[in-house]
Amino acid sequence: MFPKWFDDWNAENPTNIFGPAILVGTVGGALFVAAMLVTWGQPFETESTQTGPRGIGMSTVGFVGEAPDPTLADYYTEEPYPREEGEPLAGEIYENVQVLAGVSEGNFNRLMNAMTIWVAPDEGCAYCHAGADEGNYADDGLYTKVVARRMIQMTQYINEEWAGHVQANGEVGVNCYSCHRGEAVPSNVWFRVDPVTEATRGWASVQNRATIQSGSTSLPSDALQVYLSGDYARITVHDLESRVEGTPGEGDYASIQDTERTYSLMNYFANSLGVNCVFCHNSRAFYDGGQVTPQWATASLAIEMVRDLNMTFLTPLLETLPPERLGPVHADAPKVACATCHKGYNKPMQGLNAVADWPELASSEPPVYQ
């Protein structure tokens, strides 16, 4: 078809036509997608939630229909049973019922079944009751039963005393599944891990090593211990402005160490809830309390709540728990923080009402069944 000299020249001087063709196709495809996005819009629906005052652009944006919390698929719930006329209370029929004695027999067993599914689905009743196979449920020989009793009290306490946090966005509350999610030991409990290096002492021994507590950053790993347990140091930074008067660590000025601890704690908060700083703060006015979001107040209550729970309920379990349940460095009791309930979501269990079917856990007062 072509002259011989032309075919010979092509054979001696081959040309790569595939590379340019691929490049042109890729660029052309990208331009086509960009043109479609501009003319037709983003194909995945999003929703925006205003978090701060109007007109300052403080909002969070997420995709509609994003993947739900996978643990919700295993959540068990059951409506309360109406109390039959003359039906005895748990404390009247069972031995050694110290917390739920005022609950009707049917609802007591309903709650025990739910707690088994929520906390120890594989082990069953024998996880807390050593004599379950023989019908002996009264014995307190297993530490798990003693701890479970205390955790029921803690759950009731949260729903009664800290409703300002757990009911901030309507009736939600907490139950055992809020933290446990089918595991005997909830994920995201924490222990004291400092010092994180053996070769150094002082400030250098609590930072520059990635830990769960520091969010896998070089920030201090003792922020949870300092701010959410113990003596409750003030959560603050030196100053957000440069070249200000005052010496860090003196007077009312936070030290550089406490400033970094605060950043470590804020990083932990953000990861625990799957949000960023402007969920609670106005990034242009961090110190102006009039420009924070409503979530700031909810988070502030949460800090006080976590401190209360750690010191009132969790830390005292040190004498009850066996060595294998204690911390790896200081043999301390497990403690809770934001991630223990939130699991990376803004709303634990994505806002599911955890007390609607479980009035026995909503209050320490015996429930009134309809």
Confidence class for position 156, pLDDT limits 50, 70, 90: very high
Q: Are 283 and 277 within 8 A, CB to CB?
A: yes
Q: Which of 133-137, 229-233, 246-250 has the highest mean pLDDT?
A: 133-137
Over residues 47-82, the pLDDT tens digits come to 777 776 666 667 776 666 656 789 999 999 999 999
Confidence class for position 27, pLDDT limits 50, 70, 90: confident
Over residues 193-236, the pLDDT tens digits come to 989 888 877 778 888 888 888 988 999 999 999 999 976 778 88
Domains and CATH numbers, the chain: 75-178+350-370 (1.10.468.10), 188-342 (1.10.468.10)
Q: Which of 16-25, 56-65, 173-182, 191-200 has the lowest mean pLDDT?
A: 56-65
- Residue 33: Cβ-neighbour burial (10 angstroms; 0-12, 13-18, 19+): exposed
Mean pLDDT estimate for the chain: 88
Confidence class for position 43, pLDDT limits 50, 70, 90: low
Task: Give the helix ranges, DSSP H, for the chain.
Answer: 4-12, 18-40, 90-93, 105-119, 143-161, 163-166, 176-180, 223-228, 256-273, 294-309, 338-342, 359-362
pLDDT higher than 70, residue 85: yes
Please report, for residues 20, 89, 107, 110, 370, the alpha-carbon distance to residue 84 in angstroms, rounded to integers and kept in the order given. 81, 11, 11, 15, 10
Contacts of 280-287 with C-beta under 8 Å, sequence gap 24+, read 280/51, 282/52, 282/53, 282/56, 282/58, 284/56, 286/240, 287/240
pLDDT higher than 80, residue 326: yes
